[in-house]
Chain A
Amino acid sequence: MVIIETKNLSYTYPGGTKPSLNDVSIKIKAGEFALITGSSGSRKTTICRCFNGLIPHFYKGELEGEIRVADKDTTKHPTFEMAKEVGLVFQNPENQLFALSIEKDVAFGLENLGVPREKMRQRVDWALKLAGIYDLRERSPHEISGGQQQRVAIAAVLAMQPKIIVLDEPTSFLDPLSAKKIFEVIHDLNRKLGITVVLVEHRLDLTAKYADHIIIMDKGRVCQDGNPRTILGAESTRLIGVGIPKATLLFQMLAKDGLKLGSVVPLSSDEIAQSLLEAIKPHD
């Protein structure tokens, strides 16, 4: 089942002369882990804003073409309705927490929706535990690290029990270890709860292995769309200047020099190490 679908979507910010999004047609299936990447300024954030109706409701401007998210036309449903279906997590952890305690922040969306208090308490605790920050619930956002703040932001959208979570470069301010923990949390949500994940990221080294689907953007257009192994393994992708995982690069380089390690393109160090070990086994 397709849960996000755009058809020839084009968008111009108010006051803009050229369209920011150009004829974007993509399909993301329910339960998928989709990765969107592309150079900075390729309008990754702009497309995310379309997914929950921030575009066109909050940003105005001119939206053409079709977009359906969780069976709803986002142009006809205000963002507060879309919020129940799609949770957005932004780049800067600091600017998405407003309350003075973490649990209050996680409750914010539910309070806005008017969820009764008993039920709210349960859902808040559930979300805090999933994000691994239950013990921090009474702290103030100022007292915790950026990585923990970003997990609060994830818990905060999770509490609304959306079908889709969209994360726009959620780890770009974090160190690699905190980033890795965030990716693990997201991967768990996808695998265990079946939540559809749309992740915008540059760090393919850490994320490509989780992805079922990759979309590469360039100047407001989709330039590659499909299976991560096919796309990251292709020569043309490297030329766009996307940060291909080192493991995949090594695989390509070895192949070029005549050492073929099977037909499955590796996306992580584990995978390539595995193929290397297998390559030597039969000859021992």
Chain B
Amino acid sequence: MSVFDGLKYRKVSSPIHDLDPRIKFFYVCAIFVGAILFWTILPLLILFAIQIPFVLLAGVKREWLRSLRGTIFLAAIIFLTNLIVRYFASGGALLVTDLEFAAAMTLRFIVLVGSFSVFFLTTSPDHLGLALERTRMPYEFSFAFTTAVRFVPVLAEEAQTIMDAQKARGLELEKGNFLKRIRNYIPVLVPLIVSAIRRSLELAEAMESRAWGATKKRTNLYILRLKQGDFILFVITIVILMVTVYVRIYIDVPGLSQFLSGVS
């Protein structure tokens, strides 16, 4: 579950947390594009390094590292698959370029996870919902999103309570063969579903009672207003985008093997 821990928003305030989610998302996309454009290690390393001051400024170093640690397993798989595919494709020989390619693919994955992790770690679901609203998506959509986020911990707690209640009646979830084990979950799932249905009815009733659907022109307590920091990030992002595209098109980035041959 550590990958998800790495995506969990925690309320703190920092210059990064205060940034407009739309600009932050633009920044994440720029990193994403950059990561996809390159197949060699050096630019990917730079893209990775760019995120570090961002993470430090946001004060989410521990959570960010945890989310990266959570990707180790997947990263290892990516590395090995790439290596194996290369090995067979080249007819049983491995060159430094093959190693570099596998490493670059892995690093690309880590860069992507890292940037998304920074985004989710520093953006409150409320802001995210607000940003969704601003995209002219129907309000119902962003409402559903924030409500879902609101009820995730509640449902998790409820599932735990139900499991405890059934265990207290002698239910052993881990007993029996595969099929039996799935059946064991029925006494947990039925109350969970019944309760979720009841809950959603109660929620609907409460929403109606608070004038849901009164007017098409809904207003909002919060607004997203671009501040100085947002412009700075915007400029940084544009620069990153331009530099990556420029380098990709006009500069032949040396690969690891070229470095090595240059040295020797």
Contacts and interface: CB of A to CB of B under 8 A. Distances in A.
Q: Do chains A and B touch in the complex (CB under 8 A)?
A: yes
Interface string B196-231: 000100111111111111110111111100000000
Interface of B: 11, 124-126, 129, 143, 146-147, 149-150, 153-154, 199, 202-215, 217-223
B143 A79 contact: no
B159 to A, nearest CB: 15
A166 to B, nearest CB: 9
8 contacts: A98-B207, A100-B146, A111-B219, A117-B221, A120-B221, A121-B221, A124-B221, A142-B150
A160 B210 CA distance: 8
A83 B221 contact: no
Contacts, number: 109
A57 B146 CA distance: 26
Contacts of B202: 90, 92, 95-96
A142 B214 contact: no
B215 A113 contact: yes
Counting chain A residues whose Cβ lies within 8 A of the other chain, the interface size class is: 35 or more
Contact of B211 (A100, A121, A138, A160): A160
A87 B209 contact: yes
**Interface SS majority for chain A:** helix
Interface of A: 49, 52, 54, 57-58, 79-81, 83-84, 87-88, 90, 92, 94-101, 103-104, 107-117, 120-121, 124, 138, 140-142, 156-157, 160
Contacts of A80: 208, 211-214
Contact of B214 (A57, A83, A99, A157): A83
Contacts of B150: 97-100, 140-142
B126 A104 contact: yes
Given A95-B199, A98-B146, A117 B220 contact: yes
Contacts of A107: 221
Contact of A117 (B147, B204, B223): B223
Contact of B208 (A58, A113, A124): A58
A114 B217 contact: yes
A190 B126 CA distance: 34
Which 3 pairs of residues, A with B, have the shortest CB-CB distance? Answer: A96-B206, A107-B221, A80-B214
B203 A142 contact: no
A169 B249 CA distance: 69
B214 A114 contact: yes
Given A57-B208, A58-B205, A98-B143, 5 more contacts: A97-B150, A99-B146, A104-B222, A110-B219, A113-B211
A92 B202 CA distance: 9
Contacts of A49: 205
